[in-house]
């Protein structure tokens, strides 16, 4: 069985999610190729070639893929699918945008956000906002799969590099064009791969309130997340959102501040190793389900926590 993993990358850096998707692909006991598409993509292709388990990297270095729009990416993948039984991608914004188009053209049912590979045709995936893990058997001739990257460890670097093979751009319908990209730059860890995440909810009260979380994040080298309620209220940008309709995270430590713990939010952070809740409502779901809970006013607690962390760092 041959698997094609579609690489995610940005600013010349291969995503951690791609390495985790390769791990999932290797559990199929398959030959794994990685497709890297982009403009000036050679450096990314070399990063992919250095990962353990990769048989070869197929690199399409073309301006048509500078922004990896869904239509040209889907056309490129489809042009290679006569060689593969499975195509996989991280369950990122790109994967969720591109692979359904591939599945539609192939007339197959996509398997979304798998969390476990049981065998070559059987997979586990969450449903009902993560409350149920469904075991799904796919009898499709070609399997199209996105991966819940928090469920797999990244594959390690290999001792040698896989060969890199150039592939030609594919003809694609001119249905969309790139207009602009708005990127939030931060020195903090990326939310999806951070070891520590501190998230705020409606209880934080305002964008000003999130500055308290930022101070804690600086002390802990943590990423900042948010509930949908906080995002919808305009406290923080949309890319901070954790949950069923946001990002899935699985840090070593997740600190939920002023978050009630709706099931949709829990679905995005339930794989966290340790969950700490700070909330005035001792009956809210987040307090009831967290590993540790502090029932107190966050505006009293966070300044004290910041001071304590600073003292620890000083010593």
Which sequence spans correspond to the domains of the chain? Answer: 2-166, 191-314
* Predicted pLDDT at 120: 92
CB atoms within 10 A of CB 184: 9
Query: pLDDT exceeding 90 applies to what percent of the chain?
Result: 80
Pairing of strands 292-295, 31-38: unpaired
Residue 314 has pLDDT above 90, yes or no: no
Residue 85 has pLDDT above 80, yes or no: yes
The model's pTM is: 0.83
**Residue in 218, 165, 159, 160 with CA at minimum distance from that of residue 188:** 218
Residue 247 has pLDDT above 80, yes or no: yes
Beta-carbon contacts of residue 153 (< 8 Å; ≥ 6 apart): 20, 23
Distances (CA, A) of 113 to 24, 89, 116, 148, 224: 11, 10, 9, 4, 23
Under the banding of pLDDT at 50, 70 and 90, the label for residue 265 is very high
User: Could you tell me the CATH superfamily of domain 2-166?
Assistant: HUPs (3.40.50.620)
191-314 shares the fold of 2-166: yes
Q: Provide the H-helix boundaries in 50-161.
A: 70-80, 93-106
User: Cα(62)–Cα(147) distance, rounded to whole angstroms?
Assistant: 26
User: Cα(214)–Cα(175) distance, rounded to whole angstroms?
Assistant: 41
* Predicted pLDDT at 184: 64
Helix (H) or strand (E) segment spanning residue 255:
strand 253-257
The CATH number given to 191-314 is 3.40.50.1220
**Residue in 267, 205, 259, 280 with CA at minimum distance from that of residue 236:** 205
Residue 258 has pLDDT above 80, yes or no: yes
- Sign of the C-alpha dihedral computed for residues 242, 220, 252 and 25 taken in this order: positive
Residue 174 has pLDDT above 90, yes or no: no
Residue 186 has pLDDT above 80, yes or no: no
Q: Provide the H-helix boundaries in 27-175.
A: 42-49, 70-80, 93-106
User: Cα(222)–Cα(215) distance, rounded to whole angstroms?
Assistant: 10
SS3 at position 273: coil
* Predicted pLDDT at 112: 95
* Predicted pLDDT at 183: 66
**Residue in 135, 155, 149, 52 with CA at minimum distance from that of residue 94:** 149
């Amino acid at each position: 069985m041959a698997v094609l993993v579609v690489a995610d990358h940005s600013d010349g850096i291969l995503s951690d999610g791609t390495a985790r998707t390769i791990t999932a692909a290797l559990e199929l006991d398959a030959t794994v190729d990685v497709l890297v598409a982009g403009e000036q993509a050679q450096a990314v292709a070399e990063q992919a070639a250095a990962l353990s388990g990769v048989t070869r990297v197929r690199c399409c270095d073309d301006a048509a893929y500078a922004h990896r729009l869904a239509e040209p990416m889907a056309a490129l993948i489809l042009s290679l699918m006569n060689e593969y039984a499975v195509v996989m991608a991280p369950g990122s914004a790109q994967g969720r945008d591109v692979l359904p188009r591939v599945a539609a053209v192939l007339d197959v049912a996509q398997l979304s956000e798998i969390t476990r590979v049981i065998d070559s045709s059987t997979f586990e995936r969450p449903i009902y906002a993560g409350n149920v893990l469904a075991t799904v058997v796919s009898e499709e001739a070609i399997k199209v799969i996105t991966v819940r990257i928090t469920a797999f460890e990244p594959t390690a670097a290999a001792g040698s590099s896989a060969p890199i093979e150039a592939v030609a751009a594919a003809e694609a319908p001119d249905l969309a064009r790139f207009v602009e990209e708005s990127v939030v730059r931060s020195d903090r860890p990326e939310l999806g791969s951070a070891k520590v995440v501190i998230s705020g909810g409606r209880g934080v009260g305002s964008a000003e309130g999130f500055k308290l979380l930022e101070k804690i994040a600086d002390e802990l080298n943590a990423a900042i997340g948010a509930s949908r309620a906080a995002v919808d209220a305009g406290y923080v940008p949309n890319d901070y959102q954790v949950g069923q309709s946001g990002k899935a995270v699985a840090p070593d430590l997740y600190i939920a501040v002023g978050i009630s713990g709706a099931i949709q939010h829990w679905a995005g952070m339930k794989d966290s190793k340790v969950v700490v809740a700070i909330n005035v409502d001792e009956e809210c779901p987040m307090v009831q389900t967290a590993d540790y809970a502090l029932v107190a006013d966050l505006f009293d607690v966070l300044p004290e926590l910041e001071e304590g962390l600073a003292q620890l760092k000083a010593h």
